[in-house]
Amino acid sequence: MPSTFPPRTDPLWRLTAACDADTRPDRLDLLVGVYRDDTGSSPVFGAVAEAERSLAARSPSKEYLGPAGNRDFTNALTRMLFPSEDVRARTLAVQSVAGTGALRLLAELLAATGPDRTVHLGTPAYLNHRTILTAAGLRVREYPMLLPDGRPDPNASLAAVATAAPGDALLIQGCCHNPTGAAMPTQSWEELAHAMAERGVVPFVDHAYFGLGDGLDADLEGVRRMLDILPEAVVAVSASKAWGLYNERTGCAIVVSDDPARRALAHSVLETTARAGYSQPPDHGARIVHEILTRPELRTRWSAELDSMRLRLGHLREGLTDALVRRTASAEFEPLREQRGMFLRLPLSEDQMGRLRDEHGIHGLPSGRINLAGVPTLLVDRVADAITRVHGGPEAARPVLTGARG
């Protein structure tokens, strides 16, 4: 069919295709947010494999579940996310096609219930946030969320709320910010919640990396405190990272409201949107998560596996930061220690990231974001050498004997 519009491709997948075409045997793919172990594999959790064996032995039905998906899954997930019975009593949840699907469902809900609504989005932002919001017909107002040294500006979100109109939404990443690795202290969540309550601003929380920052409960504490304060919120949840279910496309769209009538309206909009978009979400990943969360021995095993991933990421971050500080004698890399989760945002320009790719076979995003989990422990020094060379520090690539700790 003829079109007057030029073809568009997602920049991340375009870069991924270029990485796949790189034939250098030592090239490193640090692009896509997938957890990898030191062998370069994205492992299946032991708890996930056991849950799958158990589900296969019981041969659960494959019948339709409806647009809201697996209610056992959404109930178990909301119990884990929100221990407060008061919060859960104000909550409705529908299963979605991963976290991206949850974001789109909730964006459609915000657009349907607030045609003049603006979503305030801190930048740098996750690549897909603006695309999803604008596709739903929402206006987006961006604001800078970082200080010049790369650390998060503690007042940026408060300033955005102060200029927002009643009914506007503020998009907040729950933890381990993508792409900056920024983490918001619990006290800041409470301050922000009070400011939003006063202004009438709705939080739109994107929670994808819980468990990979400071621990499962610590990563969820901020949003839990916020929901204790605010009458309404929407929360998009992904099961991709915390359970390693990347290609199972498992997520959840959650609405919290004090008003039962508004919850009923929200449920209707979410189901109608899902029905028009994909009819209903896939069930396999949802059954796996439900099985893990409701069997104590599997939940304990899953929690330990998730914690081991978090600890490895911490060791890699400290090791790479130590190596960069030693090589460059620059304080510019010190803020990397404060970042959390799977991603590390390097203080490199787009041109320097291009040199990292072209000269050293290390593929990251032009923004400076790399997937830290894609760095094998034994290659920390090689990565540090390459970063130092493109950064141009005074002691570029000085040999050292130690790599990442742990």
Average pLDDT of 192-210? 98
In the predicted model, is pLDDT for residue 3 greater than 80?
Answer: no
In the predicted model, is pLDDT for residue 104 greater than 50?
Answer: yes
Task: Look at the alpha carbons of 229, 226, 129, 165 in this order and tell me if their dihedral is positive or negative.
Answer: positive
Identify the pLDDT of residue 399.
39
Identify the pLDDT of residue 37.
95
In the predicted model, is pLDDT for residue 48 greater than 80?
Answer: yes
Average pLDDT of 245-256? 98
Identify the pLDDT of residue 368.
95
Average pLDDT of 318-344? 95
* Residues 98, 240 contacting (CB under 8 angstroms): yes
Rounded to 10 deg, the angle between the 284-294 and 46-58 helix axes is 110
* Residues 143, 156 contacting (CB under 8 angstroms): yes
Average pLDDT of 41-63? 93
Identify the pLDDT of residue 4.
64
What average pLDDT does the structure give for the chain? 93
Identify the pLDDT of residue 264.
97
| 70 token code pair | 């697996």
Average pLDDT of 165-174? 98
The third-level CATH classification (topology) of the domain covering 64-294 is: Aspartate Aminotransferase; domain 2 (3.40.640)
The third-level CATH classification (topology) of the domain covering 11-44+308-391 is: Aspartate Aminotransferase, domain 1 (3.90.1150)
Identify the pLDDT of residue 51.
98
Write out pLDDT tens, residues 273-299. 999 999 999 999 999 999 999 999 999
Average pLDDT of 74-91? 98
- Give the whole-number percent of the chain exceeding pLDDT 90: 88
| Cis-peptide into 25, omega within 30 deg | no
In the predicted model, is pLDDT for residue 314 greater than 90?
Answer: yes
Identify the pLDDT of residue 76.
98
In the predicted model, is pLDDT for residue 180 greater than 70?
Answer: yes
Residue 13 pLDDT grade (very low, low, confident, very high; cuts 50, 70, 90): confident
Which residues, in sequence order, are bridge partners of residue 369?
345
Q: What is the pTM of this model?
A: 0.93
Residue 166 pLDDT grade (very low, low, confident, very high; cuts 50, 70, 90): very high
> Lowest-confidence range among 75-89, 151-165, 166-180, 390-404?
390-404
Identify the pLDDT of residue 60.
72
Residue found under tokens 């999803």:
132
Higher pLDDT, 392 or 251: 251
Identify the pLDDT of residue 148.
87
Identify the pLDDT of residue 362.
97
Identify the pLDDT of residue 6.
64
- Residue 253's closest CA among 104, 70, 151? 104
Please give the torsion angle defined by the CA atoms of residues 347, 351, 353 and 356, in that order, rounded to the nearest 10 degrees. Answer: -120
Identify the pLDDT of residue 405.
32
Q: Exposed, middle or buried by CB within 10 Å (0-12, 13-18, 19+), for 142?
A: middle
Identify the pLDDT of residue 392.
85
User: What is the rounded CA–CA span in Å between residue 337 and residue 335?
Assistant: 5
Identify the pLDDT of residue 150.
82
Identify the pLDDT of residue 149.
83
Average pLDDT of 351-375? 96
* Domains in the chain: boundaries: 11-44+308-391, 64-294
Identify the pLDDT of residue 307.
98
